């Protein structure tokens, strides 16, 4: 499985290269996407991942669409936990991974309105800040088979489109974010 590279890695500061036509539909491209999906699956808080984040300087990113949806509805006690007929507490399972692939993406339209949003990054662990992102974004990209498609998004999806496109252009969110904070995670038990 590919490791997610961290701030300071040269690949994160480079403009990524377009994926060449001969790679569309290839085993090599499919393998790269599978490895990226596995790396993203390991990051519970992760919603998207760009190829440069796994050390590959290609214009490609993936989105875990299932993680961009609202959480499951709550039961009458305000919890996602339920009980079976034996009184055992059950946790709702994580939804099945739903990956969207964006190859050689271009942002082709944005709303005039921008909003301030909280943001973090799997390649800048433990650092969070506030960025200004367009409220709506339309992107044009190619699929694994080489066909072209367009997808519009608002809210979190628009933010993802801009954040991941920044990665493809060698820009990390910390370069333009405000009010940066560092959250230190310890693995020691709390008392």
Give the integer Cα–Cα distance in Å for 44 and 185. 15
Q: Name residues whose C-beta falls within 8 Å of residue 2's C-beta, 6 or more positions apart in sequence.
A: 35, 36, 38, 39, 54, 55, 56
- CB neighbours of residue 39 within 10 Å: 19
pLDDT (tens digit, 0 to 9) for every residue of the chain, 191 residues total?
Answer: 789 999 999 999 999 999 999 999 999 999 999 999 999 999 999 999 999 999 999 999 999 999 998 766 555 455 445 555 666 655 556 668 899 999 999 999 999 999 999 999 999 999 999 999 999 999 999 999 999 999 999 999 999 999 999 999 999 999 999 999 998 765 554 44
What residues does each domain of the chain span? 10-68+96-182
The neighbouring-strand residues paired with 137 are: 110, 153
The catalytically annotated residue of 164, 175, 182, 188 is 164
- CB neighbours of residue 191 within 10 Å: 3
Q: Name residues whose C-beta falls within 8 Å of residue 16's C-beta, 6 or more positions apart in sequence.
A: 50, 51, 52, 57, 58, 59, 60, 167, 168, 169, 170
Give the integer Cα–Cα distance in Å for 69 and 63. 12
Residue with tokens 């650092």: 127
Residue with tokens 């992760």: 46
CATH class of 10-68+96-182: alpha beta
Number of residues in the chain: 191
Give the integer Cα–Cα distance in Å for 43 and 53. 13
**Is 188 part of the annotated catalytic residue set?**
no
């Amino acid at each position: 499985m590919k490791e997610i590279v961290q701030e300071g890695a040269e690949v994160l500061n480079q403009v990524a290269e377009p994926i060449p036509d001969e790679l569309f539909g290839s085993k090599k491209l499919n393998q790269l996407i599978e490895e990226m999906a596995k790396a993203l699956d390991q990051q519970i808080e992760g919603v998207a991942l760009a190829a440069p984040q796994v050390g590959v300087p290609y214009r490609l990113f993936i989105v875990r669409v299932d993680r961009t949806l609202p959480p499951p509805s709550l039961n009458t006690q305000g919890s996602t936990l339920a009980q079976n007929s034996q009184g055992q507490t059950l946790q709702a399972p994580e939804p099945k991974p739903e990956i969207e692939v964006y190859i050689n993406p271009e942002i082709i339209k944005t709303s005039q309105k921008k909003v301030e949003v909280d943001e973090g990054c799997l390649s800048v662990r433990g650092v969070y800040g506030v960025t200004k992102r367009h409220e709506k974004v339309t992107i044009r990209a190619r699929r694994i088979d080489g066909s072209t498609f367009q997808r519009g998004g608002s809210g979190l999806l628009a933010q993802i489109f801009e954040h991941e496109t920044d990665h493809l252009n060698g820009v990390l969110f910390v370069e333009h974010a405000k009010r940066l904070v560092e959250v230190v995670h310890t693995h020691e038990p709390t008392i």
